[in-house]
Amino acid sequence: MQAPVLQSMTVEILVDNFFDIFEPSRPGLVERAVLGKLKKPLVAAHGLAMLLTLVHNGRQTKILVDTANSPLSFFNNLEAMEHKVEEIDAVFLSHGHPDHYGGLLEFLSRRGPGLPVFFHEDCYFPKLLVTPRGRVGPYVLEKEKLVAAGAQLHENQGPALLQDLALLTGTVEATTPYEKPLPGFKRIVQGNEEPDPFSDEQALVVNIEGKGLVVIGGCCHPGIVNMTKYAQKLTGVNKVAAIIGGFHLTAGGDDLINGTINGLKELNPNLVLAGHCTGFKALTRLAAALPDNFMVSCVGTKVMMGG
Ligand SMILES: [Fe+2]
Ligand SMILES: [Fe+2]
């Protein structure tokens, strides 16, 4: 499936787990928030939300990728970064975990009816997490509430285009031996609890003129290398400009961290911007292994590609 070739894209990290004012910028590619220039303080939270500005045929479209864990972090940071709900043309949910859709209903109610919302139909399965400290959930993305809020739902299973601007991969094909669903994650299907295969998580892929693919993941439960390789296969484009998202690595142990580092080295993107659920240990390992192209995703970070 062809991913349309865009002139440029910016990615702004609205909500993420980290904020460190001393993280460096990379002129022309990655800009960090400047404290004195913010309208109000940014907050970090366990969740993810990004704002994409896509430029195609001279026209600008703003896509919200995930809506953080709650309206609190989402609206605080949207305001701090001087954006308004009215600017946003569509929403994409990376997968069906509440730290990615926690602000969605409040956002829809403020934005008004008719907004396109894209996600995999398996996001509707109730989700649970079994931890050493007990069970968390189930959490449910409720279709009735989305419909009542006036959302224009676009549910997919396989590859699909988002408004002829970006490719959604659909359920990710697993090809690496080291990326497997982690055992603590469960979903409920027809009343039965089962290990979550993460069929609901998909990457959003943008093809930038002269640069290559930008692969954006939420938690990357299917594996960031699987997701990127699948994006390459679907688009027929091998060059990877950037990989952005939470990689969920520390919880998977050393084999997963080592395998992913080698996989990323082979993919050789110009930028790896990882945050959210990647985990501190994996972030430090990535920073050491990819010194020239790894950066931590912090709230307020802006990535500029092409144009
Ligand atoms: Fe997450
Ligand atoms: Fe997740």
**Mean pLDDT across the chain, nearest whole number?**
97
Number of domains into which the chain is organized: 1
Q: What is the pLDDT of residues 173-193, one digit of tens each?
A: 999 999 999 999 999 999 999
| Ligand number, closest to the Cα atom of 66 | 1
Buried b or exposed e, range 256-291, using 16+ CB within 10 angstroms:
bbebbbebbeebebbbbbbbbbbbeebbebbeebbe
Q: How confident is the model at residue 165 (pLDDT cuts 50, 70, 90)?
A: very high
Q: How far is the CA of 197 from the centre of ligand 2 (A)?
A: 12
Q: How far is the CA of 247 from the centre of ligand 1 (A)?
A: 9
| Ligand number, closest to the Cα atom of 246 | 1
Q: How far is the CA of 15 from the centre of ligand 2 (A)?
A: 15
- Which residues have C-beta under 5 Å from ligand 2, the single-atom ion? 97, 219
Q: How far is the CA of 151 from the centre of ligand 1 (A)?
A: 22
Q: How far is the CA of 155 from the centre of ligand 1 (A)?
A: 20
| Ligand number, closest to the Cα atom of 47 | 1
Q: What is the pLDDT of residues 54-64, one digit of tens each?
A: 999 999 999 99
Please name the residues in contact with 281: beta carbons below 8 A apart, sequence gap of 6 or more: 250, 257
Q: How many percent of the chain have pLDDT more than 90?
A: 96
Q: What is the pLDDT of residues 267-292, one digit of tens each?
A: 999 999 999 999 999 999 999 999 99
Q: How far is the CA of 46 from the centre of ligand 2 (A)?
A: 11
SS3 assignment for 72-104: HHHHHHHHHCCCCHHHCCEEECCCCCHHHHCCH
CATH of the domain at 137: 3.60.15.10
Q: How far is the CA of 11 from the centre of ligand 1 (A)?
A: 18
Hey, is 122 helix, strand or coil? Answer: helix
User: What is the model's pLDDT at position 192?
Assistant: 97
Parent domain of 71: 5-306
Whether residue 298 contacts residue 20, with contact meaning beta carbons closer than 8 Å, is answered with: yes
| Ligand number, closest to the Cα atom of 95 | 2
